[in-house]
Amino acid sequence: MKNDIPSFLLFIFLSAGVPILSGQEQSDPFLWLEDIDGQQSLEWVKARNGRTVETLTGHSDFKDLNGKILSILNSRDKIAYPSIQGEMIYNFWQDEIHKRGIWRRTPAQEYAEQEPEWETVLDMDSLSDTEAEKWAFKEADFLCPDLDICMVRLSRGGSDAVEIREFDLRKKSFVENGFSLPQAKGGVSWIDRNTLLVATDFGPGTLTESGYPRIVKIWKRGTALAEAETLFSGNESDMGVWGFVINTPERQFVGLMRMITFFTMNHFLFDKGELKKIDIPEDAQLNGFFKNQMLVELKSDWTIEGKTYRQGALIGIDADRFLKGDRDFHVLRRPDEHSSLVSVSYARNYLLVNTLNRVRSELYRYTLAGTEWKSEKIPAPDFGALRVASTESFSDLGFFEYENFLIPGTLYRISGWEGQIEAVKSLPHFFKNGDLEVKQMEARSKDGTPVPYFLVAPKNLPLDGSHPTLLYGYGGFEISETPYYSGILGSAWLEKGGVYALANIRGGGEFGPKWHQAALKENRQRAFDDFIAVSEDLIRRKITSPSCLGIMGGSNGGLLVGVAFTQRPDLFSAVVCQVPLLDMQRYNKLLAGASWMGEYGNPDIPGEWEYIRKYSPFHNLAADRKYPKVLFTTTTRDDRVHPGHARKMAAKMESLGHDFFYYENIEGGHGSGVTNEQRAFMRSLEYMYLWKMLK
């Protein structure tokens, strides 16, 4: 899934075992492909990979295309995106020399220089060689405020499961006999130098049915993990339980979050030695703390003490007064039908509140004087996206980026109480864009709902239906699709005459919680109808035609394009179906699937399976229909969306006599690879396929 979702929501336990099957499931002749590392499964993968690679790499343009994409990924002109940690800026960097990457740092005052002097903290290639393990760096949790030690997360092959080890940032080495956790889907937070808040796999019975941690413990240095004190235990039916520690200049907040479903949760805070439940709606999100203000984002209307706070609002209240029973919130941001809240980032004396207005980014700087909130809009060009790169609660240093489809990303620095802003770094132009323009268009869905989409195309495009067009969509989990600059998309597609469209369909977050909730569970077909409507609109306007129209989507977007081509194969001539969900009868039994039942429904409940069955791509394939020749991509080490989805869909198509392309990378997790070579190869296959099918 994409990402404005907090990273701890994506930790999903890996379970390669095949569960007990019902009679209906036993009729599935392709279940053996769910055995991730089984010899028979991998032999099947190897054979299909071989056919795909031989065909697509055999084109005379493939070598140049792959070289161009790899050069973009390895470019030393890329922005080294910052992570502020006190007086230092940290960055993870990969290029042609550092294939698995280096974690490095430079003094904050030197970062804006053209070529700051970077100090390597951890070399992942060296670590992988030393330990004979294909490690991927995930992230690190710093001890605050000292920032001299951290817990580093290491992933095998890019999977979500991580091994977590204590690391000495002064010695630049792992701490001998320090805190260490074996591979699992979980997380840690520092309470103090000798105490961790831990959510992990503590052994049998300690995980939920979704595979997330069910128990949070307090672990003291010098004791065994098995001796850690249990702080909270959730239910096996919960999605998961995680602890959190939020450090601010005013105080430390220690608490935990029990996720009942992906979209409902309970929050708890330690107050005077007691764990207290935060009395807010279960679908509300505790956003953070600023100058002792507790900020809450609402996903539905909330009426409390005679006052109604609207769906989508960002509200705040003094944390101590709240714990004593006060419910008189301040409203920082009021929603409207065209806008949504993207993120809130915390500095010492200001907040950066990122919003969308008609799917166009607007960034606001909020300050608090006494009890009065003030805000100012940060100016930026149109048709673009703003993204906060890094802030830090103990300083007023911050970074944000602006980009759009044609303008490379520019990184801006904010500094000082007054929030002075200056551009400090920019991406180069990776492709020629002088003849291109961006428009925001609108289609009408089956039920009459207007659905916006962005179109990137040459100026004065002849409307004759002849243009190779790539339509991308996602439409799930309240994740918004916004403009972005991609050197790969530009050089591999736009520069060569391709047209690109980005759909803002229901299920996403472009217009707030209501836009997402409109396509949940029994209403999921609305997201698919929206995507089909955009496809039809592109054809109706004669921008393209079915013979020239391709679609692409990953993860939930892989489900989207899977439904699109099984319901309307007449509309498309190419489908790139990346790390997809496709067997919607068994998705809740594979890896993280059970955690998504709040989005799709529970296929084990007959009434819910009835509406899921109507769109499940795996169950709607037919022998007597003509489908486009789909390209399925996945990775063996994807422990979020099981590779069995793509494997089984391809195998079923094969059994019904339908041709396809298939490529499964061994590494990559829920993505396209760990190294830039792997990523470039996957992207090259995809674009080579698109040009082959749409010309």
Q: Strands (DSSP E) along 398-468, which ranges? A: 398-404, 410-415, 420-426, 436-444, 450-458
Task: Give buried/exposed letters for 499-523 (b at 16+ CB in 10 A, else e).
Answer: bbbbbbbbbbbbbbbbbbbbbbeee
Which residues, 6 or more positions from 540, have their beta carbon under 8 angstroms from its beta carbon?
none
Whether 670 is a known active-site residue: answer yes
Q: How far apart (Å, rounded) are the C-alpha atoms in residues 637 and 159?
A: 6
Pairing verdict, β 149-156 and 162-168? antiparallel
Reduced to 3 states, what is the DSSP secondary structure of residue 470? strand
* The one-letter amino acid at 370: G
Give the residue among 586, 639, 672 at the shortest CA–CA distance from 185.
639
Q: How far apart (Å, rounded) are the C-alpha atoms in residues 476 and 467?
A: 28
Tell me which of 555, 573, 595, 672 is the catalytic residue: 555
Question: Which burial class, exposed, middle or buried, applies to 174 when counting CB atoms under 10 A from its CB (0-12, 13-18, 19+)?
Answer: middle
Question: Quick count: other Cβ atoms within 10 Å of Cβ 173?
Answer: 11
Structure tokens at 26: 């036993």
Question: Is 286:315 a contact under the CB 8 Å cutoff?
Answer: no
Q: How far is CA 552 from the centre of its chain?
A: 16
Q: How far apart (Å, rounded) are the C-alpha atoms in residues 501 and 507?
A: 18
DSSP states of 86-112? TTEEEEEE--SS-SS-EEEEEEGGGTT
> DSSP assignment, residue 465?
S
Which residues, 6 or more positions from 349, have their beta carbon under 8 angstroms from its beta carbon?
367, 396, 417
> DSSP assignment, residue 115?
S
Which residues, 6 or more positions from 424, have their beta carbon under 8 angstroms from its beta carbon?
111, 112, 399, 411, 412, 413
Question: Is 359:440 a contact under the CB 8 Å cutoff?
Answer: yes
Cis check for the bond before 145: say yes or no (omega within 30 of 0). Answer: yes
Question: Is 637:157 a contact under the CB 8 Å cutoff?
Answer: yes
Give the residue among 422, 426, 248, 482 at the shortest CA–CA distance from 347.
248
DSSP states of 627-678? ---EEEEEETT-SSS-THHHHHHHHHHHHTT--EEEEEESS-TTTT-SSHHH
Q: How far apart (Å, rounded) are the C-alpha atoms in residues 53 and 55?
A: 5
Whether 658 is a known active-site residue: answer no
Query: What is the four-CA torsion angle of 439, 490, 92, 412, rounded to 10 degrees?
Result: -40
Q: How far apart (Å, rounded) are the C-alpha atoms in residues 370 and 367?
A: 10
Question: Quick count: other Cβ atoms within 10 Å of Cβ 194?
Answer: 12
Pairing verdict, β 549-554 and 469-472? parallel
Report the DSSP beta bridge partners of residue 154.
137, 163
Which residues, 6 or more positions from 122, have their beta carbon under 8 angstroms from its beta carbon?
102, 103, 137, 152, 167, 172
> Where in the sequence numbering do the catalytic residues fall?
555, 670
